[in-house]
Structure 1
Amino acid sequence: MTQAIALATSRLWRERPKEMLLAGGVAFAAFVAAGTAYSTPDLASLSGRNDPTKVGPPAPPPLLIKELPPEQALAINKQIPLTQGPNPAAQPFSLNKSDTAARDRALECLTSAIYYEAGSQDADGERAVAQVVLNRVRHPAFPASVCGVVYEGSTRPTGCQFTFTCDGSLMRQPDQAGWDRARTVAAAALNGFVYAPVGTATHYHADYVVPYWAETLSKNAVVGAHIFYRWAGSWGRPAAFTQAYSRSEPNAGALRSAAIMAEQRDRATRSINGEEAQAIAEIPGAEAIKLEPSMRGDKRVAVRFNLTARKASDSVKHEAYVEKVKASDNLRFALTGGEPQADEKPLGQPAAPAPASGGSAQ
């Protein structure tokens, strides 16, 4: 049977080579399609069948806040229910195999996040923030380093992930006692301490604000003044936290400086868009130029003028300053250097009275 098939195939190849090539191409395409259909499923389809079409982690949303008064925000946040079911704790994080430079930078960045984000809360509030940072380091939706997570988005117009990196907080000098307390919490977290109540949370916000994404994630904990969330579905479960730590950290000081410069630039831009922009808009042909803040951090505004400004300047009726301010005769003389007016009184000592004419009446 096999020999007969081989002879028939050989005869067809000699007599109809084009048809044989076409049949081979169809067979190869069918083989590739079959292989694709039975390829290894992605993490989303393995760990959660609710969204099998997702092939990559979701992008972390910026912390855009709804414009609501604090009392209304508190009421809305209370109405969002806690997720029912298990809330498994994260796995311990350790920097044992990292070099000294990476360890120091990670400690610096994590301490900053704890101090500026939760420095006014108790130890549990600080531990909860530290846990979220380390949860992000292990999640494929975020950078694989501590400093990368903390300063993510701090120089982008789309917004930062941790508000202290883009709201001017870094300009505030920390008090030593609070910094030391935050550093102790950060060191414990980097050495394997796990704050279990927040589970695998990767997001949080203060209870007096309402982010636009609040109802799209799973609310799984409330610690102090912060509300914590994890990704809904498979991306928020322990099986999704597969990212390996990079074992290297970017320069913490450089990241801090870049964040401060970006915040100052945005502040200057916002100012240009305010009163200065209105004043410039009222000048014909004037255009604002965006400048980087000076080395001292103060705001700089530059204006350039186009041909419209020149035409407007030529058409303006000139009015002398002394006329505009209704200057006195003395001021006119001092400003222009011209001759005094005819009725101007002499300066200095008064003139001697004129002698009387004629004698007295007899």
Structure 2
Amino acid sequence: MRIGILLGAFLMLASAAAAENTADDIASAEKMGLNAMGSDKLASLLDTSAIREIRPKARKTQKIDYSRKWLSKQPKASLTEQASCLAEALYFEARGESVVGQFAVAEVIMNRVDSPSFPNSICGVIHQGTGRKYACQFTYTCDGHPEHIGEPAAYAQVSKVASLMARGADRPLTDGATYYHTHNVSPSWARKFARTTTIGVHHFYRRHTRLSQN
């Protein structure tokens, strides 16, 4: 009987010591990172859900083939409010462009969303200055003409572009451009900014580093 009591007490002390060591190891892992302890040892201390919380999730982006054939195979777009604003802008600004040209215009809008110089939402960027005739950022929003979508097939295509971009697709086409204009105009601001590329009928620009910091 006494032996059983002593054995039980010993096991309780051993369990408490193991728990204390485990807590110390976990705290050490949180301070030093997985590399310091090793993921195998940490996995033996923590359950699967805890491992998922410690390891940062890698951002997954869909690989885009900038072709009409590839885009046609994508599912019909289900648009959020913000993506709907982007689809509308692409329809009126770039529906006649190639697929790569449409993605390029979308990049400019998304780059503006990320820039402190512009509103921080897609709809905010697109409608910046709307209400003042020809003083807006995107002419179709302030030219006095109603926005009528009369080409459903073109809208369905740009909606797919908008959906992909609004969900965080990569932006490799325009090198961070936040401005663009067509070949047939020559705005004064274009002389102040760095041209990053030309795609279709559009030239793309971003501010010089020094100007961006002002």
2:208 to 201, 225, 232: 232
Instruction: Please give the TM-score of this superposition, normalised by the length of structure 2.
Output: 0.59
Partner residue in 2 for 1:217? 193
CA distance, structure 2, for counterparts of residue 140 and residue 218 of structure 1: 18
- Write the letter of the residue equivalent to 1:208: N
Partner residue in 2 for 1:163? 139
CA distance, structure 1, for counterparts of residue 160 and residue 130 of structure 2: 25
Task: Note the C-alpha offset of 1:208.
Answer: 0.7
1:175 to 146, 151, 155: 151
Map 1:171-320 → 2, pairs under 5 A: 171-234=147-210, 236=212
CA distance, structure 2, for counterparts of residue 160 and residue 168 of structure 1: 11
* Count of residue correspondences: 138
Task: Note the C-alpha offset of 1:232.
Answer: 1.2
Tell me, yes or no, if the aligned pair for 1:107 and 1:186 is still in contact at 8 Å: yes
Query: Which ranges in structure 2 are unaligned for 5 or more consecutive residues?
Result: 1-58, 62-78
Q: 1:228 to 1:169 in 2, by over 3 A?
A: farther
Map 1:112-131 → 2, pairs under 5 A: 112-131=88-107
Task: Note the C-alpha offset of 1:202.
Answer: 0.3
Tell me if 1:104 matches 2:80. yes
CA deviation profile, 1:223-258 (whole Å, cap 9, x unmatched): 10000000112455xxx7xxxxxxxxxxxxxxxxxx
Larger radius of gyration: 1
Tell me if 1:147 matches 2:123. yes
CA RMSD of aligned residues (A): 2.3
Task: Note the C-alpha offset of 1:199.
Answer: 1.3
Quote the sequence identity (%).
35
Tell me, yes or no, if the aligned pair for 2:107 and 2:171 is still in contact at 8 Å: yes
CA deviation profile, 1:255-302 (whole Å, cap 9, x unmatched): xxxxxxxxxxxxxxxxxxxxxxxxxxxxxxxxxxxxxxxxxxxxxxxx
Tell me, yes or no, if the aligned pair for 1:113 and 1:129 is still in contact at 8 Å: no
CA deviation profile, 1:126-162 (whole Å, cap 9, x unmatched): 0011110010001011001110000100113570101
- Write the letter of the residue equivalent to 2:132: R
User: Comparing both structures, which one devotes a greater share of its residues to helix?
Assistant: 2
Q: 1:129 to 1:210 in 2, by over 3 A?
A: same
Instruction: Please give the TM-score of this superposition, normalised by the length of structure 1.
Output: 0.36
Counterpart secondary structure, 1:213: helix
CA distance, structure 2, for counterparts of residue 178 and residue 157 of structure 1: 26
CA deviation profile, 1:105-134 (whole Å, cap 9, x unmatched): 101100011111000011011001111001
Partner residue in 1 for 2:114? 138
Tell me, yes or no, if the aligned pair for 1:219 and 1:230 is still in contact at 8 Å: yes
Tell me, yes or no, if the aligned pair for 2:174 and 2:204 is still in contact at 8 Å: yes
Runs of 4+ aligned residues of structure 1 deviating over 4 Å after TM superposition are none
- Write the letter of the residue equivalent to 2:120: A
